[in-house]
Structure 1
Amino acid sequence: MELSKSRFLQTVSGVTFAGLALLGQSTAHAEDALADGKLTVGMEIAYPPFESYDGDKVVGFDPELATLLSNKLNVEAEFIDAKFTNLILGIKSQKFDAVISGMYVTPERILVTEAIPYARTGAFILTLKDAEIKPIDENGLCGLKVGLQQGTSWVKDLTALSDGYCAENNKGSITIQEFPTAPEVSQALISHNVDAQVEIAGAARMFVERSRGRIEISSPELIYPQTMGLFLKKGDMALKNKVEDAMAQIKADGSYQMLIDKYELTAVSE
C-alpha cells in the first residue's frame, strides 16, 4: 500500500523518534550500570584456575581480566558467586552487569546475550592414572560413562557424538552424567562413579595437580576447541561498546597478552 507524502513523513518520524528513544535507553543503562562506580560480574567461584577463593579473595584468570577492564572503565570490579547454570539468567534479570566465567561463546548464548570473545581454549579428557581405558580423543569416549559439569556445551557435543559416530560404528553409547560443579565431577572420577571427565584445559591441569597423582590427562591434544566470552544483557550496546573499548586498551598496553600467557590460553584478535 502506498502512503501519502504527509503520512510517509509521519511514519518515518515515528520510527526515527522510536529509534532515538531506544538508543537513549541503551546509553542510560550503560551509565546506570557503572554509575555506582562498580562493574558487577557474575561467575561460579569454584572453577580454578579461572575463578576460585583464596581465603576471602577471588583469584584466577577471570577476576584478573575483570579487574583490568574495570580499571580502564574507571570503576571497581565486584564479583557475585552464582551457579554456572544460572549465570545467563542472572544477566537477563540484571542481577549483575556481566558474566566472565570460563563460558564458551555458543549460538544459543548469542541469541540471548551480547558476547565479547576474550580467549580460545579447548578441553582435555581426564581419567584415573590406573584406568584400563584412557581415551586419546573424543571418539575414545564411546561406551564409557563420562562426567560433565551441568550447563557445559560438551553435553550437546557428546550426545551428538554418541548418536552419530559411536552408534554408526557399534562402539557403544556414551553415558553422560552431569554434576553441579567441576570439582564434583573429579570426585566422582576418583570414586569410580564415572570412567572419564571432559574439562576445559586450564581447569583440567589444576585438577590433575590437586589429585596427588590419582588423575591424569589422557588426551594428548585439545578436543572441542572453543572461544570463551564475556557476556552482557542482550541489546545493551552502550555497555558493550564501553567494554569493547576497554578490551582494546588492555590489548594495546600489553596487559591482556601477559594475562593470556600467564594462564596458557590463546589470544583472540577480535
Structure 2
Amino acid sequence: MSFLVTAGVFMSLMAYQPYATSAQSDVAAGQVLNIGSDMTFPPYEYLDNGTPKGVDVQIMEKIAELNGTLKPNWIDTRWVNLIPGLKSGKFDVLYSSMYITKERMAQIDMIPYLKTDISLLVLKGSQYQPKDPMDLCGRTVGAMKGTAFVAQIQSISKDRCEAGGEKPILIREFETSPQTTQAVLAHAVEVQYDDAAVMKAALKSLPKRVEISSTESFFPVLSGIGVRKGDKKTHDLISSGLEKMKQSGDLKRILNEYGIQEPSPEDISRVMN
C-alpha cells in the first residue's frame, strides 16, 4: 500500500509520513488518504491554527463522508514539490487547486472539479492600474513559483508585449501566494498575477492596503485533483465522489460559497480531450 495506514494508527492530520515503496495505491474504506497540498492558498486550502480549511478541504471532506470511513490526511507541501511527491508515493492524492495543463497531464492524471480565471492585485490607490494582460508590458510582476501563472506571464511577455513592440515583463517568483502579496506591499513588485478567488481572499484580508485592478476575466482554466498515472482505484474513488456531489448539488453549493464556478461538460471536454 502507498502511504495508507489504518484508522487505528492515525495519529494526526499533519503527521509526517515516510515515502512509500509502491507506485500503486490501495485506498479502501477505513483507511487514511494522504493528500499533498500547498496550504498557503486561501480560499482553496489553508491552515487555521493548524487545522486545514478552505473550499478544497470541504470538497474532500464530503467525498470522504460519501465513501463512509475514509480519513483525509492533509500534508502541507510547497507547490514545486507537489507533483514529485505524488509520483514518488509520498501522498496518494494531489489536491491543491492545480490548473490542468497538457504538461501536467503528461505526468499525472487529473480530475476536473472547478473553473476559475486570473485577477491582478496592486497597492490600494496606486497610479498603476493594470486592467488586462497588455497592461503588464514593461512592468515587474509577481507570481507563485512553479505555477501556470509564470508560464502565462512568459507567454504574454513574448507573444503580446515583445511581438507588439512593447518592453518585456520582468517576472519575480515567490514560494507562496501570501509571499507574493507581501512583495506587492513592500513595493518589490508592481502587481500580483494570481487566481481570481485567491485575489478576492487577499482583498478581503487587506481591504485598506490592496485592490484588484483587472476589470475583465482572462485565461479561464479548470483546476483538477491529481492522482498517479495508473492508480485506477484512487481515481475512481475521487471521481465517483465528485459525481455524487454534482448529482446532489453539493459541489455547486460549496463552490458558490466562494464565488467559484462549477465547470460545464463542454469546459471539461475542451480541456481533457
Instruction: State the TM bucket, normalised to the shorter chain.
Output: 0.7 to 0.9
User: What pairs with 1:187-202 in structure 2 (closer than 5 Å)?
Assistant: 187-202=182-197
Q: Which runs of 5+ in 1 are unaligned?
A: 1-27
RMSD: 1.7
Provide the residue aligned with 1:169 in structure 2.
164
Give the number of the structure whose alpha-carbon radius of gyration is greater. 1
Tell me the percent identity: 30
Alignment of 1:265 with 2:260, yes or no, is: yes
Q: CA separation in 2, counterparts of 1:31 and 1:86? A: 19
Deviation at 1:222, TM superposition (A): 2.1
Provide the residue aligned with 2:251 in structure 1.
256
Q: Classify the secondary structure of the residue corresponding to 1:265.
A: coil
Q: CA separation in 1, counterparts of 2:152 and 2:43? A: 23
Q: Classify the secondary structure of the residue corresponding to 1:102.
A: strand
Provide the residue aligned with 2:44 in structure 1.
50
- Which of 16, 32, 35 aligns to 1:38? It is 32
TM-score, normalized by length of structure 2?
Answer: 0.85
- Is contact 2:197–2:258 with CA below 8 Å preserved after alignment? yes
Deviation at 1:36, TM superposition (A): 5.4
Q: 1:269 to 1:30 in 2, by over 3 A?
A: farther
Q: 1:260 to 1:212 in 2, by over 3 A?
A: closer
- Displaced runs of 4 or more, over 6 A: 28-31
Q: CA separation in 1, counterparts of 2:42 and 2:97? A: 10
Deviation at 1:255, TM superposition (A): 1.2
Deviation at 1:33, TM superposition (A): 2.9
Provide the residue aligned with 2:176 in structure 1.
181
Q: CA separation in 2, counterparts of 1:260 and 1:232? A: 21
- Is contact 1:29–1:239 with CA below 8 Å preserved after alignment? no
Q: CA separation in 1, counterparts of 2:72 and 2:233? A: 18
Deviations 1:91-133 (A, max 9, x none): 1011111111111001011001111000000110111122222
Q: CA separation in 2, counterparts of 1:82 and 1:188? A: 21
Q: CA separation in 1, counterparts of 2:264 and 2:249? A: 13
Deviation at 1:56, TM superposition (A): 2.6
Q: CA separation in 2, counterparts of 1:92 and 1:168? A: 38
Q: Classify the secondary structure of the residue corresponding to 2:106.
A: helix
- Is contact 1:147–1:176 with CA below 8 Å preserved after alignment? yes
Provide the residue aligned with 2:4 in structure 1.
none
Q: CA separation in 1, counterparts of 2:29 and 2:204? A: 42
Q: Classify the secondary structure of the residue corresponding to 1:103.
A: strand
Q: CA separation in 2, counterparts of 1:189 and 1:150? A: 15
TM-score, normalized by length of structure 1?
Answer: 0.86
Q: Larger deviation: 241-250 or 96-105?
A: 241-250
Q: 1:261 to 1:212 in 2, by over 3 A?
A: closer
